[in-house]
Amino acid sequence: MVEGGRETNRTGSVMTVTVKSFATFREVMEMQIVLPFPEGATVRTLLADLTSRFDRLDEQLFAAPGTLRDFVNILKNGRNIDFLAGLETSLEDGDVIALFPPLAGG
Amino acid sequence: MDGYAGNMVFVDLSAGTVAIQPTPLDLKREYLGGRGFGIRLLTDLVDPQTEPLSEKNAVIFASGPLTGTGIPLGSRYEVSTISPLTGTASSANSGGVFGWKMKKAGFDAVVVTGRSAKPVYLLLDNGKAELRDAAHLWGKTTGQTTDAIVEELGDKTVRVSCIGPSGEKLVRFACIINEKTRAAGRGGMGAVLGFKNLKAIAARGDRPIEVADEARLDVVKERVRAKIQENGIEQALHNYGTAVLVNIINENYVLPTRNFQTARFPNAENVSGETIAKTILKRPKGCYACIVQCGRVHEFDGEAGEGPEYEPDWAFGPDCGIDDLKAVVRANNICNEYGLDAISAPATIACLMEMVEKGYVDHPIRFGDAAGMLALVKQIATREGIGDELAEGSYRFAEKYGHPELSMSSKKQELPAYDPRGIQGYGLATATSVRGGDHVYGYMISPEVLGAPEKLDPYVTEGKAQWVKTFQDLTAAIDASGMCLFTSFALDAQDYADLIATTTGMPIDTTELLRIGERIWNLQKLFNIKRGFGRSDDTLPARLLNEPLQEGAPKGQVWRRDEMLDEYYALRGWDTDGIPTREKVEELGLA
């Protein structure tokens, strides 16, 4: 993972993305974290980074490698990635990614 | 031997008499119970032109065949009447223990007509029923009423469903509360009981509840138990309660804020399910036979109670521009004690706040004023000061001051905690709901936001009409069965059909299950049409159709009624005015 994002960002080659977690995901990762990513990174890249940082996140996110668990919802700036390009949804500088485990209410 | 108690009790309050009759087989077969019994009996007994607050209106309490059978989450009962808020054939559903107790006392349904000359309560006592004096209970809160009846009967096994002072004062959105904190919340059922001078129903008994095929039911029970326990959504309900929705709805930019002026509340985290769990939660709590336990028991600063559920949490919070969790919880507790619908009360306050902000009403309240909000809840609960006007509901209040468009309601019932501009199918479901503004007569949030049973794009209108129809019909059948609607995150139509068939011995498959739901839906619709409702009522406030959302992913969107309504009517077998065709009426046996 690229380090020193703020410095290289001036060159346009690195962007920063804010990740927010909710409900049970907060038991295995930080509530909010800002991470640098190289251009061309996707949600898949971001999740790989997160699971390498937070040990127990992988099993909560994925049912099998590359397959999200049922009812896990990931939003990019308020839009579910399922209606963008799924895990291949590209990241852009300043994006907010929200991660939700299965939940409901009413 | 079919999950039913076998009898219904007809209470004529004007005459002061009770009459017990067997529960008819055809009623069970065609309407199951719960909401089905309620709507069938209501529409049989009451002339469609009846004023809701008149002695000619009827109120029906009914459980379903699965209530109290030990099936996980089989705890519900339903109250049906003509709503004094909406004027529709309406129902409200509650859990807790009372539905089971009603059946243990020997009754599938309580049918109340007439009006008592003085306050009374009804005691259901192991196969018998009697009206008792309630003069000493009048004016008491729901908690005081419950304790007084338990003490008077000297029996801690008795369970009480009652009204508080708000029902007595005929607040149009007064509710009915059982076990002090569980509410048949919407539609003003409490006001109808208040008008009738019926303070409470108390139930006790130990009659056996027997099923048709215990061995087969046990197999189905274990299957549904495993599905519920393994379902991630049900686990989240246990951990965080229903208020876990605050953040996900907010992050989707569809959390109505300041009376639906925006759809994102910057301080949502402060009133979220996660914050509740971290700060005031003492323990989770469940209804009878519940293995999910989404209820919240809270304790802080000497205040103890239950909740808040997502809807009141949102309504007293973001919809009023308030992020003070303790104030939200106190307001919710006042609603439980006085017997007020904790959606309509705060949504009406939010409407006042906008009216004041726009200069249409002169009052010191402002968005974000938690102390002012708390004072208003009490004023509404007892009809004091401006509370007397607000007790008529947001629509009548806003209309009185010349701006009905600022009432965020449908058919005069306040809308729940989702902005339809960013959730198109949900908008169709609530606009066409036969009880007015609503989220539990077909919970489209599940597929459109939460992704269950599958993910539907919330911004798309195509295909939503079919989903809405199916959800509305299935929900009507679940409400009739006595099961909690929250089982639907884990179970499918086959599970419900198997539970009902093995419990009752009736040949119910998935087709028949949905047909029963469709029959209930159409019966409510037909009654509403006779009361003057039509296509123009199947809509939402103009703001939601005309003023685009301003922030986030759904920016620029409005709710697109015209893209869905004709298709919905056609799928229902209704004409373009929304009136069921002769063929549909005959097909459902409603001719």
pLDDT tens readout for residues A36-58: 999 999 999 999 999 999 999 99
Tens digit of pLDDT for each residue in B390-425?
Answer: 999 999 999 999 999 999 999 999 999 999 999 999
B591: distance to nearest CA of chain A, Å? 35
Distance CA B564, CA B461 (A): 6
Residue B370 sits in the same domain as residue B441: no
User: Which segments of A1-106 does DSSP mark as H helices, in order?
Assistant: 5-9, 43-53, 57-61
pTM: 0.97
* pLDDT for A6 beyond 70: no
Exposed e or buried b per residue across B408-442, where buried means at least 16 C-beta atoms within 10 angstroms of its C-beta: bbbbbbbbbbbbbbbbbbbbbbbbbbbbbbbbbbb
Residue range of the domain that includes B577 = 420-489+509-587
Nearest chain B residue to A20 by CA: give it. B251
**Does a structural domain hold residue B115?**
yes
pLDDT at B298: 97
Residue B102 sits in the same domain as residue B174: yes
Q: Do B273 and A20 touch (CB under 8 A)?
A: no
CATH of the domain at A26: 3.10.20.30
Q: Does A86 touch chain B (CB under 8 A)?
A: no
Residue B407 sits in the same domain as residue B438: no
Q: How confident is the model at residue A11 (pLDDT cuts 50, 70, 90)?
A: low
Tens digit of pLDDT for each residue in B240-265?
Answer: 999 999 999 999 999 999 999 999 99
Of B328, B320, B558, the closest CA to residue B422 belongs to B558
Tens digit of pLDDT for each residue in B147-182?
Answer: 999 999 999 999 999 999 999 999 999 999 999 999
CB atoms within 10 A of CB B32: 32
Which of 183-242 (B) contact A at CB < 8 A?
231-233, 235-237, 239-242
Distance CA B420, CA B459 (A): 10
Of the partner residues A22, A69, A82, the one whose CB lies closest to the CB of residue B274: A22
Distance CA B400, CA B420 (A): 26
The C-alpha angle with vertex B82 and arms to B514 and B294, in degrees rounded to 5, equals: 60
**Does a structural domain hold residue B222?**
no
* Residues in chain A within 8 Å Cβ distance of B251: 20, 22, 75, 78, 98, 100
CATH of the domain at B470: 1.10.599.10
pLDDT at B361: 98
**Does a structural domain hold residue B215?**
no
Residue B184 sits in the same domain as residue B329: no
* Residues in chain A within 8 Å Cβ distance of B310: 105-106
**Does a structural domain hold residue B338?**
yes
SS3 B547: coil
Q: Do A22 and B489 touch (CB under 8 A)?
A: no
* pLDDT for A8 beyond 50: no
**Does a structural domain hold residue B224?**
no
The interface pTM score, or ipTM, of the predicted complex is 0.95
Mutate which: A19, A20, A22, vs B, most B CBs within 10 A: A22
Query: Which residue, B394, B414, B434, sits at the end of a domain?
Result: B414
**Does a structural domain hold residue A105?**
no
SS3 B349: helix
Q: Do A73 and B450 touch (CB under 8 A)?
A: yes
Residue B58 sits in the same domain as residue B160: yes
Decide the pairing of beta strands A79-80 and A73-76.
antiparallel
Tens digit of pLDDT for each residue in B21-44?
Answer: 999 999 999 999 999 999 999 999
* Residues in chain B within 8 Å Cβ distance of A78: 251-253, 552-554
Residue range of the domain that includes A42 = 5-100
* pLDDT for A1 beyond 60: no
Q: At what angle do helices B34-45 and B464-481 cross, to 10 degrees?
A: 90
Residue B435 sits in the same domain as residue B325: no
Tens digit of pLDDT for each residue in B97-110?
Answer: 999 999 999 999 99
Q: How far is CA B276 from the centre of its chain?
A: 23
Tens digit of pLDDT for each residue in B348-359?
Answer: 999 999 999 999
Exposed e or buried b per residue across B69-106, where buried means at least 16 C-beta atoms within 10 angstroms of its C-beta: bebbbbbbbbbbbbbbbbbbbbbbbbbbbbbbbbbbbb
pLDDT at B566: 98
Query: Residues B57-77: what's their mean pLDDT?
Result: 97
> How many domains, in total, are found in chain A?
1
* pLDDT for B564 beyond 70: yes
Residue type, position B180, single letter: K
Query: Which residue, B353, B384, B414, sits at the end of a domain?
Result: B414
Contact at 8 Å (CB) between B2 and B506? yes
